[in-house]
């Protein structure tokens, strides 16, 4: 436990330790993010999956401190051994957009309708790199090219409404890349797009992440996309990460009954049998059950799951773990 609380080693781009975020609600404090400890590795992509309301967006926003003032965030967010939650607000703002880029869940509203995309990109470049014209313009054109926008010189003067959804999303990605971030946080970056465009934009994000060897955290509902884009997967349930590991391990041999449920509920191309929906609904995060928060929906639960507090993570291998009492795992607890 103490090892978990020290600053992480160098190959880790971003280290979250016991990150907890509570919102004040009429129902009392609501734990949207609950003691999340996870590492994001340099040059690797981590996909976060989980049902709606499991805390995926709240987790990414907590990393950047982009939450209402009433939200209480505790724990640590280590970037190069420095805890972003402990530094001054100004310092954290400087990290946002430069060292850590973010693509939001509702990206199409991320662009200002009254300015051309060229103007918005050059403004962002001025802010992060203190670039002046014409350097800002030529860098903006390079970024539009990097996100494969055809005829960037021509599109530079277009307003967002003149572009298709897919093209606008490429501009939003270009904006997130403007600060040359080492880490990209992407919250369902293709949800607002139609299916064929989704696949292309997802492929673009994956290739940019690899070309730039950025660390990336990508939230997605689409398990097929997660396995294409990501190296590692973290599964969230009721504010907690309940399983994490390399994609092949988590998808190929899921350890947590919830992960197995999610995989069963995911319809695959060509599938003929109906998806196996997980029975019940996620708990109210302001009224969490005392034991494992998945126990009320879990076909494999035993009495200890209801009473012994939330299960500690158990290692299946050096890199794959799950928080479930039923995981036998060779490595004992993490
Ligand atoms: N500003 C807020 N004030 C109060 N509660 C909030 C706030 N933002 C999020 N929540 C609550 O926190 C929980 C997690 O929300 P979050 O948006 O992180 O879920 P999510 O996993 O991103 O879901 P989705 O897949 O639908 O985007 C939910 O119960 C939500 O209602
Ligand atoms: Mg969300």
53 domain residue, yes or no:
yes
List the domain range (segments joined by +) for residue 207.
Answer: 12-99+181-267+278-322
Task: Give the Cα separation of 169 and 107 in Å (integer).
Answer: 7
Percent pLDDT > 70 in the chain is 92
How large is the average pLDDT for residues 317-328? Answer: 91
* Nearest residue by C-alpha to atom 2 in ligand 1: 23
φ, ψ of residue 235 to 5 degrees: the values are -105, 125
Kindly state whether residue 272 falls inside one of the protein's structural domains: no
Q: Is the pLDDT of residue 165 over 90?
A: no
Does 173 reside within a domain? no
What φ, ψ does residue 40 adopt, rounded to 5°? -110, 120
Closest approach atom of ligand 1 to CA 55: 18
Report if residue 80 sits inside a domain: yes
Q: What is the CATH number of the domain that holds 73?
A: 3.40.50.300
Other CB atoms within 10 A of residue 98 CB: 16
- Give the model confidence (pLDDT) of 102-137 as tens digits: 998 776 678 999 999 999 999 989 887 777 888 899
Residue to mutate (ligand 1; options 22, 26, 50, 53; most atoms within 8 A of CB): 53
Cα separation of 279 and 258, whole Å? 11
The atom of ligand 1 lying closest to the CA of 61 is: 18
**How many domains, in total, are found in the chain?**
1
CA–centroid distance, 30 to ligand 1, in Å, is 10
Residue 331 lies in a domain: no
* Cα separation, 291 vs 285, whole angstroms: 13
Within 10 A of 227 (CB to CB), how many other CB atoms are there? 15
Beta carbons within 8 Å of 8's beta carbon, 6+ residues apart: 15, 39, 78, 81
> Is 254 contained in some domain?
yes
Contact (Cβ atoms closer than 8 angstroms) between residue 285 and residue 30: yes
Whether 135 maps to a domain, the answer reads no
Residue nearest to atom 19 of ligand 1 (CA): 53
Q: Evaluate if residue 30 carries a pLDDT over 80.
A: yes
Task: Note whether residue 256 is domain-resident.
Answer: yes
Helix (H, G, I), strand (E, B) or coil at 295: helix
Model confidence, pTM: 0.91
**Nearest CA, atom 7, ligand 1:** 23
- CB contact burial 126-150 (16+ within 10 A = b; e otherwise): eebeebeeeebbebbbebbebbbbe
| C-alpha span between 200 and 213 (Å, rounded) | 20
pLDDT band at 2 (very low <50, low <70, confident <90, very high): very low
């Amino acid at each position: 436990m103490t090892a978990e609380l020290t600053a992480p080693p160098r190959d880790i781009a971003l280290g979250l330790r016991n990150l907890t975020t509570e919102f004040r609600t009429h129902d009392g404090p609501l734990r949207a993010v609950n003691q999340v400890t996870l590492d994001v590795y340099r040059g690797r992509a981590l996909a976060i999956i989980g049902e709606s309301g499991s805390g995926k967006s709240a987790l990414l926003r907590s990393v950047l401190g982009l939450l209402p003032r009433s939200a209480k965030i505790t724990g640590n967010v280590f970037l190069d051994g420095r805890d972003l939650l402990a530094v001054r607000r100004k310092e954290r703002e400087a990290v946002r957009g430069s060292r850590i880029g973010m693509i939001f869940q509702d990206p199409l509203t991320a662009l200002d309708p009254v300015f051309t995309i060229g103007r918005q990109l050059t403004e962002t470049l001025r802010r992060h790199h203190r670039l002046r014209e014409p350097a800002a313009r030529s860098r903006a054109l390079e970024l539009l090219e990097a996100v494969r926008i055809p005829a960037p010189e021509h599109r530079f003067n277009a307003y967002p409404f003149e572009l298709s959804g897919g093209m606008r999303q490429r501009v939003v990605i270009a904006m997130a890349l403007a600060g040359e971030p080492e880490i990209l946080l992407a919250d369902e970056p293709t949800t607002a797009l139609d299916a064929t465009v989704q696949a292309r934009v997802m492929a673009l994000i994956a290739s940019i992440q690899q070309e730039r060897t950025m660390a990336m955290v990508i939230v997605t509902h689409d398990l097929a996309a997660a396995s294409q884009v990501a190296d590692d997967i973290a599964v969230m349930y009721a504010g907690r990460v309940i399983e994490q590991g390399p994609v092949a391990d988590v998808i190929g041999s899921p350890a947590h009954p919830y992960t197995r449920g999610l995989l069963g509920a995911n319809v695959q191309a060509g599938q003929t049998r109906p998806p196996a929906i997980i029975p019940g609904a996620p708990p109210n995060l302001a009224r969490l059950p005392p034991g494992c928060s998945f126990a009320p929906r879990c076909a494999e639960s035993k009495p200890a799951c209801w009473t012994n507090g939330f299960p500690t993570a158990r290692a299946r291998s050096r890199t794959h773990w799950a928080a479930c009492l039923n995981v036998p795992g060779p490595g004992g607890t993490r």
